[in-house]
Amino acid sequence: MHRVPLKTFNWFLEVQTPCSMHAHGLLETLYVGKSKYQEIVVARLCNVGKALILDGKIQSSEYDEWIYHESLVHPVMLAHPNPTEVLILGGGEGATLREVLKHKSVKKVTMVDLDEEVIKVSKKYLPEWHRGSFDDPRAELVIEDGRKFLEEAPENSYDVVIIDLVDPTEGAPAAKLYTKEFYELVKKVLRDEGIMVTQATSTSYTLDVFTVVYRTVKEVFEKAGGYHSFVQAFDATWGFVWGSTGPDPSSLSPDAVDRLIRERLEGELKYYDGITHVGMFSLPKHVRKAMAAQTTVSTDERPYLALV
């Protein structure tokens, strides 16, 4: 049998579940540091380029961050008839902010992130991600715990809330930012016809977590649903869950998505369009079945955490 020699690398090993890990050839380490909340690494990896890594987990990569961020932002933004004020919870790299600011209707975006150090590192090492979005006059940056911000925010303040946080794992800063009580706070700050979306972990490796997030959001919002996109840096299909008091992104036709992109966006989209939208929202049978069967609701008293 012909054997292909394995190139000698230093390796970055990302644990995905208690039973599996993903090995990335490590070309260069650009930054290593530790904030009050988490370890921060920026590294150049063989297959996915420059990557932001928090507590040993890849958050986004140069190769495909646009797949993740376009998937997170645009379905809910286009589903809303006229989003003018948007709240982002998390999103330290600035790429979620970048995508929101492509919408011409947006007058103000408030981005709330707990870890100022991640933002400082991103501003310096990840300009391809934020592309100057932090300096946009419509953008306001608040360094604060997202839950505390929601508790103190007035009711009916935002059209869209986009939640771009780390996974809910034991000891992680976001462990209680995926609970019923948290989503009730999100609903409080949304206006009539408001809509929210959260990253919801992998539909491949952590389908249980994805379905619990969906079931928990469904407990709070009149309408809820899920979708996913494949992200190579995560080596997985990645799930997103939305909740709404009116708009339904799953009802958008391909033609409607393409028309809304033409009418309402400035700047290029590399991944998301009408045909892609259909694929994202066409979840496979086993995922739909798991969503329908899930009965667990994550609460502050008993938060459901990913095992990694």
**Residue 192 among known ligand-binding residues:** no
Let me know whether 84 and 190 are in one domain. yes
pLDDT tens string 256-284? 999 999 999 999 999 999 999 999 999 99
Question: Is 145 annotated as belonging to a binding site?
Answer: yes
Give the chain's end-to-end CA distance (angstroms, integer): 36
Instruction: Say how far apart CA 199 and CA 166 lie, in whole Å.
Output: 9
Say if residue 173 carries a ligand binding annotation.
yes
pLDDT digits (tens, 9 = 90+) for 85-138: 999 999 999 999 999 999 999 999 999 999 999 999 999 999 999 999 999 999
**pLDDT the model gives residue 3:** 53
Determine contact, residues 196/87, Cβ cutoff 8 Å: no
Question: Mapped to the 3 state alphabet, what secondary structure does 46-58 carry?
Answer: CCCEEEEEECCEE
Closest CA to 248 of 73, 79, 71: 79
Per-chain mean pLDDT for the chain: 95
User: Is 33 found in the same domain as 120?
Assistant: no
Residue range(s) defining the domain that contains residue 42: 10-61
> For residue 15, what is the domain's CATH number?
2.30.140.10
Q: Kindly list the catalytic residues.
A: 164
Nearest by Cα to 61 from 18, 30, 35: 30
The answer to the question of residue 307 being in a domain is no
Q: 128 and 71 in one domain?
A: yes
Give the model's pLDDT for residue 6: 61
**pTM reported for the whole predicted model:** 0.95
Claim to verify: residue 230 and residue 274 sit in the same structural domain? yes
Q: Is residue 306 part of a domain?
A: no
> Coil, helix or strand for 9?
coil
Total residue length of the chain: 308
DSSP run (H or E) holding 33: strand 20-34
